[in-house]
């Protein structure tokens, strides 16, 4: 990232857990472009990333330079769009839903992610085995539904360090005096490198319904580019720049 950008004084938080992801391409992804904030452009590969996190947040480790902050577990479902801001490439999380009120509040207030309440489920166990089937889902009151399944998983990599993530957010503060927003700014945040004990793959499938778009993204018209399960991951999240 550009070190000349003004940084927010946020403390890092370490997260542990798992993630299920499907990267797919579909001609209807372009319908999301109008929902990206000013300055963020959609990549021209018609790709989106669907992911469900199952994480524990740890704010008390030595790495985090702070003490006596609560530890808690949460799940989160995300639909993110690979995008760019100038020369910075990252993802814009268009849909974010969590089963934790505490995490939802933290993400909305400190970063500006539009996280909403949802019922998130995942059947990932502590130790995965070859041939297992993975089922995840997100049910919301916001006219968005997601089901992902990965059949007959197989081990792909072990003890991997994945590149740091870059995620855009559009932080808006509404004005109490008018219909105009008091402030609106693009936040560029992300994670450290992501350490993963085991990466699994398999035969991925999905079902999705989204009221933001007229022509739905369906499996029959989509090309699945990558399917991964991250087992026993660790990452630090906490920097943000505008």
The CATH number linked to 127 is 2.40.400.10
* Structural domain contains residue 3: no
Q: Buried (b) or exposed (e) across 76-97, using 16+ Cβ within 10 A?
A: bbbbbbbbbbeebebbbbbbbb
In the 8-state DSSP scheme, what is residue 7?
Answer: B
CB atoms within 10 A of CB 113: 24
pLDDT at 59: 62
In the 8-state DSSP scheme, what is residue 85?
Answer: E
pLDDT at 125: 79
Q: What is the arithmetic mean of pLDDT over 171-190?
A: 77
Which residue, 24, 79, 93, 19, is CA-closest to 55?
19
Measured distance CA(21)–CA(50) in Å, rounded: 6
- Torsion sign over Cα 214, 37, 111, 241: positive
Domains identified in the chain, total number: 1
* Structural domain contains residue 150: yes
pLDDT at 8: 39
Question: What domain range includes position 164?
Answer: 13-241
Range in 9-13, 47-51, 213-217, 228-232 the model is least confident about: 9-13
7, pLDDT greater than 50: no
Measured distance CA(19)–CA(52) in Å, rounded: 6
Whether 168 and 204 have beta carbons less than 8 Å apart is answered as: no
What is the reported pTM? Answer: 0.87
In the 8-state DSSP scheme, what is residue 131?
Answer: T
* Structural domain contains residue 61: yes
* Structural domain contains residue 4: no
* Structural domain contains residue 51: yes
* Structural domain contains residue 5: no
Measured distance CA(194)–CA(206) in Å, rounded: 25
Percent of the chain with pLDDT over 90: 64
Residues 75-99 have pLDDT tens digits of 999 999 999 999 999 999 999 999 9
pLDDT tier at 5 (50, 70, 90 boundaries)?
A: very low
Q: What is the arithmetic mean of pLDDT over 15-34?
A: 95
* Structural domain contains residue 2: no
Q: What is the arithmetic mean of pLDDT over 138-162?
A: 97
Measured distance CA(81)–CA(41) in Å, rounded: 10
Number of residues that make up the chain = 242
pLDDT tier at 69 (50, 70, 90 boundaries)?
A: low
* Structural domain contains residue 6: no
Q: What is the arithmetic mean of pLDDT over 221-230?
A: 97
For the chain, give the mean pLDDT: 87
- Side-chain half-sphere CA neighbours of 143 within 13 A: 6
């Amino acid at each position: 990232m550009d070190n000349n950008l003004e940084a927010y004084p946020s403390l890092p938080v370490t997260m542990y857990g798992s993630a299920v992801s499907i990267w797919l391409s579909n001609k209807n992804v372009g319908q999301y472009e109008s929902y990206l904030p000013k300055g963020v452009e959609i990549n021209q590969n018609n790709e989106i990333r669907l992911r469900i996190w199952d994480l524990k947040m740890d704010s008390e480790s030595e790495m985090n330079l702070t003490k006596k902050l609560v530890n808690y577990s949460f799940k989160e479902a995300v639909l993110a769009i690979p995008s760019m801001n100038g020369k910075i490439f990252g993802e814009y999380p268009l849909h974010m839903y969590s089963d934790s009120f505490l995490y939802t509040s933290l993400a909305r207030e400190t970063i500006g992610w539009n996280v909403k309440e949802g019922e998130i489920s995942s059947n990932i166990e502590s130790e995965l085995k070859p041939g297992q089937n993975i089922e995840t889902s997100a049910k919301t009151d916001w006219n968005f539904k997601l089901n992902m399944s990965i059949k007959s998983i197989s081990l792909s990599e072990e003890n991997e360090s994945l590149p740091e993530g870059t995620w855009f957010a559009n932080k808006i503060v509404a004005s109490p005096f008018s219909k105009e927003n008091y402030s609106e700014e693009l936040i560029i945040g992300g994670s450290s490198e992501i350490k993963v004990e085991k990466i699994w793959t398999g035969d991925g499938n999905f079902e999705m319904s989204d009221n933001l778009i007229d022509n739905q993204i369906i499996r029959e018209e989509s090309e699945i580019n990558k399917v991964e399960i991250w087992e026993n991951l660790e990452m630090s999240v906490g920097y943000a720049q505008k």
